[in-house]
Amino acid sequence: MVDLMESGKLKEENENNSQLDKQTVLSQLPKGWEIKKLGEVCEILDKLRKPITKRDRIAGKYPYYGATGILDYINDFIFDERLVLVGEDGAKWNTGDKSAFIAEGKYWVNNHAHVIRPQRQILLDKWLVNYLNFSDLSDYVSGMTVPKLNQGSLKQIQIPIPPLPEQKRIVSILDRAFEAIDQAKANAEQNLKNTKELFQSKMQSIFDNGKLKVESGEWEEKKLGEIFKLKSGDGLTAKNMIEGKYPVFGGNGIAGYHNNFNFENEVIIGRVGALCGNVRYIKEKFWLTDNAFRISEGLNDFNKEFVVYMLNHKSLRNYARQAAQPVISNSSLKDVYISFPKSIKTQKQIVVQLDKLQAETKKLEIVYQKKVEDLEELKKSVLQKAFSGQLIMENE
């Protein structure tokens, strides 16, 4: 069997694959393969499905499926067989979006997923699912406000179908390849998670140890309101923003660019929005909106980079008032206890230590994120081979 995990060929294969559109692949199939429309080789069981509103569902042991998978567990079922489900609306249909999946046992399906029974003497369930998830089905989707893969379009999807024994062989190859790819991806994702946690763990250790030094007088512990004063920026609506070179910072970060600035060399804290509580030190000239605070007083006894680490360590987002738009205020932050070394020299030493670790962890994050992305591309490359007949030819 060809070594499907040989990543050295990945870039070249993906470049070649990108040049092969669906019609080219379908026109170059091996002898004995056919092209069939889904409606010709599958029975559509949509008339049997039935939605149940959330308030009318009774909790139970049977899966309740929607467009993307299990939504709930209820006390009754409609189907008691292995079938293929495909998102009708509320799903995504691009390459790799997993819009199709297999349901087994006893379960219920609402009206947001098509229910399909392949003619199994012609077409394997897994072959169909793999092909649908490999394909970009967006050409079959209609509707702008609510995109939908309606039943008529579903039936028109063209599927390459080899003889059943070849389907079984290819599906077996895919199962083994995907198991290896998924394991490698899981390892890379775990390494990525561990890398991110490493930095947080080190920062936690520094500030926890700092608390122990409060009694010796090396560190202090005070309420945030005792040492800093916070002041909001100036209002600037999107309508009044004039395109320019100065970044505009709101509650969640950069919200645009303006032709004027109101501050520079400031420590700011997001005040409104999903990422409120984020702390940044902005050295350049910028515009600060009233959706963010700046530390207007109290920074003279601090290294500004240290203040950013210290306050981000406190996860100020946790002190936000939970509403449609999360908001933090002076009153919600003033009693937050923070620990810090009295010596600015010590603060700078901590910054150097954390900057170095952060740079190293970011490098590792890039490596592991790239590996995860490459593994996803590798899976697409394997599927490309499968549905163009190359896996069979390479394994004969």
pLDDT digits (tens, 9 = 90+) for 290-322: 999 999 999 988 999 999 999 999 999 988 887
Range of the domain at 243: 219-341
Alpha helices (H) along 213-257: 224-227
More confident residue, 42 or 218: 42
275 — pLDDT class (breaks 50, 70, 90):
confident
Could you tell me the sign of the dihedral formed by the alpha carbons of 212, 214, 218, 224, in that order?
Answer: positive
Please state, for a pLDDT cut of 90, what percent of the chain lies above it: 53
Strand ranges across the sheet with 279-288: 229-232, 292-297, 263-270, 279-288, 246-249, 254-258
CA-atom Rg of the chain in angstroms: 28
| Cα→Cα distances 37→19, 135, 151, 385, 388, Å | 24, 14, 12, 21, 17
Show which of 116, 134, 161 is a domain's final residue.
161
* Residue 18 pLDDT greater than 70, yes or no: no
Overall number of domains in the chain: 2
Percent of the chain surpassing pLDDT 70? 92
Q: Is residue 179 part of a domain?
A: no
Please tell me whether residues 157 and 38 are part of one structural domain. Answer: yes
Q: What is the mean pLDDT of residues 215-219?
A: 84
The listed range with the strongest mean pLDDT (95-104, 277-286, 364-373, 383-392) is: 277-286
| SS3 label, residue 190 | helix
- CATH value at residue 244: 3.90.220.20
Average pLDDT of the residues in 23-50: 85
Domain presence at residue 244: yes
pLDDT, residue 199, reads 85
Q: Is residue 4 part of a domain?
A: no
Q: Do residues 157 and 271 share a domain?
A: no
Average pLDDT score over residue span 32-59: 94
Does the structure show a pLDDT above 60 at 333? yes
Distance CA 379, CA 96 (A): 9
* pTM: predicted TM-score of the whole model, two decimal places: 0.64
